């Protein structure tokens, strides 16, 4: 195991525990944590990688407001809502891990020019691993999330949202010749590097919920 991978794993474990704590303690603490993360390091990193472009800065601010509202709505005020939000993050994490593992081990054909490190095998790995949380959450009693075609499709939509978010942020980094959005997270870069998929998946799930598609 390389030093970089070790740092990545340790950081991921710390972040996972911190996030679960913020979600479960209560909805007020949760939204405060969301606002701090989104409008301090994340927004600053977005502004910096776009060379403080006012138009993109404003777009980023408005979009993160939408992300914040979506997260607050989905977290809700019940324990069941909190479990559902954790499920969403687990699907995002599974998608990210699957893409990383398949991309590193299998490699192969590049997925798209704007992000040369992304491969077709990595994308397939993201879809495959995004389904795995079904088998974990199938054994809890708080939300109904059994193995079904509808729930598999839900996981795939969330994974697709994560991958699109990753590609969009990668495009802007490449456009502005930036490797990482920051260096605050060992092994991951900046907060935007870490949550680029999540900030696209959460609004998508919000839309699916309010339209009652899921």
Q: Are 141 and 101 in contact (CB under 8 A)?
A: no
Tell me, what's the pLDDT at 43? 96
Which parts of the chain sit beneath pLDDT 50?
none
What DSSP line would sit under 120-184, residue for residue? HHHHHHHHHHHTTHHHHHTT-SSS---S-HHHHHHHHHHHHHHHHHHHHHHHHHHHTT-S-S-SS
Question: What is the pTM for the complete model shown?
Answer: 0.92
Tell me, what's the pLDDT at 117? 73
Domain extents in the chain: 3-210
Tell me, what's the pLDDT at 4? 64
What does the alpha-carbon distance between residue 94 and residue 152 come to, in Å, rounded to a whole number? 13
């Amino acid at each position: 195991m390389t030093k970089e991978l070790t740092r990545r794993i340790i950081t991921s474990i710390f972040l996972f525990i911190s996030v679960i704590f913020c979600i479960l303690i209560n909805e007020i603490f949760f939204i405060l944590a969301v606002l701090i993360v989104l409008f301090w390091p994340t927004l600053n990193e977005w502004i910096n990688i776009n060379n403080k472009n006012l138009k993109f800065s404003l777009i980023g601010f408005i979009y993160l407001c939408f992300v914040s509202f979506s997260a607050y709505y989905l977290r809700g005020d019940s324990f069941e809502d909190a479990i559902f939000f954790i499920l969403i993050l687990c699907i995002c994490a599974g998608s990210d891990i699957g893409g990383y593992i398949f991309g590193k081990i299998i490699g192969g054909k590049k997925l798209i020019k704007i992000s040369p490190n992304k491969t077709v095998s990595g994308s397939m790995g993201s879809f495959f691993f995004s389904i795995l949380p079904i088998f974990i959450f199938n054994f809890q009693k708080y939300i109904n999330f059994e193995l079904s075609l509808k729930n598999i499709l839900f996981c795939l939509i969330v994974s697709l949202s994560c991958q699109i978010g990753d590609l969009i942020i990668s495009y802007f980094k490449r456009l502005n010749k930036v490797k990482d959005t920051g260096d605050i997270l060992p092994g991951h870069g900046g907060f935007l590097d870490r949550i680029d998929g999540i900030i696209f998946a959460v609004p998508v799930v919000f839309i699916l919920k309010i339209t009652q598609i899921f």
